[in-house]
Amino acid sequence: MNLKKTLILTLILLGGILFISAFVHIPSAIQSGKTVYPLLSFKKSDRVMIIAPHPDDEALAAAGIIRYCVNHNIPVKVVIVTNGGSDLAWQRHAESLEAMKKLGLNDNITFLDYPQVGLTHLLTQNWNKPYMDPKGISHSMNKFSHNPGAPYTGESLAMELEDVIYDFKPTVIIYPDSNDLHQDHWATSAFVEYAITKLNYNCTTLGYMIHTPSNPWPSPRSYSPSSYLTPPSYLSAQENWVEFPLTEKDEEFKASAIKSYKSQLKKGSYFLLSFVRKNELFSIQHPITISKNSSTGYPNLIFKDPENDVKKLTTSIETGIKTSESSVDLTNISFETNNNGTWISLQTKDKISANNIYKFHLLIIYGNNTTAVMDIQIKNGKYHINQYGTTLSNLTFINTRNAIIIKIPIIFKKGDNVILSAEAIDSKGKSTDRSPWQIIKIT
**Which 8-state DSSP code applies to residue 183?**
H
Domain with CATH 3.40.50.10320 in the chain: 12-284
In tens digits, the chain (443 residues) has pLDDT values of 433 343 333 333 334 434 434 554 333 323 335 668 999 999 999 999 999 999 999 999 999 999 999 999 999 999 999 999 989 999 999 999 999 999 999 999 999 999 999 999 999 899 999 999 999 999 999 999 999 999 999 999 999 999 999 999 999 999 999 999 999 999 999 999 999 999 999 999 999 999 998 778 999 999 999 999 999 988 888 779 999 999 999 999 999 999 999 999 987 789 999 999 999 999 999 999 999 875 555 566 665 665 555 554 433 233 333 445 789 999 999 999 988 899 999 999 989 999 999 999 999 999 999 999 999 999 998 999 999 998 887 898 888 899 999 999 999 999 999 999 999 999 989 999 999 999 999 99
Phi and psi torsions of 183, nearest 5° = -60, -35
With b for 16 or more beta-carbon neighbours within 10 A and e for fewer, the 190-218 pattern comes to bbbbbbbbbeeeebbbbbbbbbbbbeebb
Which of helix, strand or coil describes residue 278?
Answer: coil
How many Å apart are CA 312 and CA 357, to the nearest integer? 18
3-state class (DSSP) for residue 300 = strand
pLDDT (0 to 100) of residue 324 = 58
> Which residues of the chain form CATH 2.60.40.10?
288-442
3-state SS, residue 286:
coil
Burial label for 401, CB within 10 Å (0-12, 13-18, 19+), is exposed
Domain 288-442, what architecture? Sandwich (2.60)
Q: In the prediction, which pLDDT does 371 show?
A: 97
Task: Describe the chain by its helix, strand, coil percentages, rounded to 5.
Answer: 20, 30, 50
Mark 96-109 as b/e (b = at least 16 C-beta within 10 Å).
bbebbebbebeeeb
Between CA 393 and CA 407 the distance in angstroms is: 11
Sheet holding 172-176, edge to edge: 23-24, 39-40, 241-245, 279-284, 204-208, 172-176, 48-52, 76-82, 109-114
Neighbours of 288 (CB within 10 A): 19
For residue 304, report the phi and psi dihedrals to the nearest 5 degrees.
-105, 160
Q: Which amino acid is at 84?
A: G
Reduced to 3 states, what is the DSSP secondary structure of residue 174?
strand
| Residue 161 near residue 110 (C-beta atoms within 8 A) | no
Contacts (Cβ under 8 Å, ≥6 apart) of 252: none
Query: What's the CATH architecture for 12-284?
Result: 3-Layer(aba) Sandwich (3.40)
Tell me how far apart the alpha carbons of residues 17 and 288 are, in angstroms, rounded to a whole number.
Answer: 14
Output the pLDDT for position 125.
92
Cα–Cα separations (whole angstroms), residue 191 to 81, 155, 160, 175, 176:
10, 10, 10, 10, 10
Query: In degrees rounded to 5, what are phi and psi of residue 419?
Result: -110, 115
Four-CA torsion 292, 298, 302, 307, nearest 10 degrees: 180
